Structure 1
Amino acid sequence: MTRARRPDPPPMRTHDVRIAAAGTAGWTVALVVLLIVDLPPSDRWWLWTCVAGIAIGVFGIWYIPRLQASRARQAEARAARRAQRPEDPAR
């Protein structure tokens, strides 16, 4: 006996910019700590790792709202195309 499948739940709303900002803040704190601690010259690459993490985080904070807006526009366009399509009577 097969039961009818329940519909999928709606996508969960997330705060992606906050997540990127938290990661960026973490890299910033790590950079400040490493600047305070006297690193030997052989370990100075950690500073550049923190700088790269901060740069990627800032890019994410800038890019994520644009990505989400683009996806929303695409979803609206798909819904509009579906609404304009005549229903198939064979369905």
Structure 2
Amino acid sequence: MGKWTPRHEAPEPLEGNVVGTITGGTVLWFVLFLVQLPFYAWFEHHGHLWWLWTCLAGGGLGLLGIWYVRRRDAALRRTADAAAGKQGEPE
């Protein structure tokens, strides 16, 4: 087990525009749902109706994801602001 021990510290995680990424993915899922909607009968006839509902579920879960990452982003900002406020105060 010793040979699997990391020899250096892990790098910090990359922070990007998480809200924009999740929003873009959610929009994409809803667009895919709307594009497939006119072909409902074809999907049903060929047994591929789950494709349509997968896109709708992806869009719905994306809405939950947007809510989550916006709250996370706000909490990270509050924590950073509080830490910056404490550093500026004399002890």
Which interval holds the TM-score relative to the shorter structure?
0.5 to 0.7
Structure 2 CA distance for aligned equivalents of residues 22 and 13 of structure 1: 17
2:77 partner letter: A
Q: Which has the higher helix share?
A: 2
Task: Structure 2: give runs of 5+ residues left out of the alignment.
Answer: 1-12
Structure 2 CA distance for aligned equivalents of residues 78 and 15 of structure 1: 22
2:56 is paired with a residue of what secondary structure? Answer: helix
Output the TM-score relative to the length of structure 1: 0.61
Structure 2 CA distance for aligned equivalents of residues 52 and 15 of structure 1: 23
Structure 2 CA distance for aligned equivalents of residues 21 and 72 of structure 1: 19
Output the TM-score relative to the length of structure 2: 0.61
Task: Structure 1: give runs of 5+ residues left out of the alignment.
Answer: 1-10, 87-91
Within the candidate set 68, 71, 79, 2:73 is matched to 68
What is the RMSD computed on CA atoms of the aligned residues? Answer: 2.8
Aligned identity (percent) is: 36
Structure 1 CA distance for aligned equivalents of residues 17 and 37 of structure 2: 31
CA shift for structure 1 position 30: 1.0
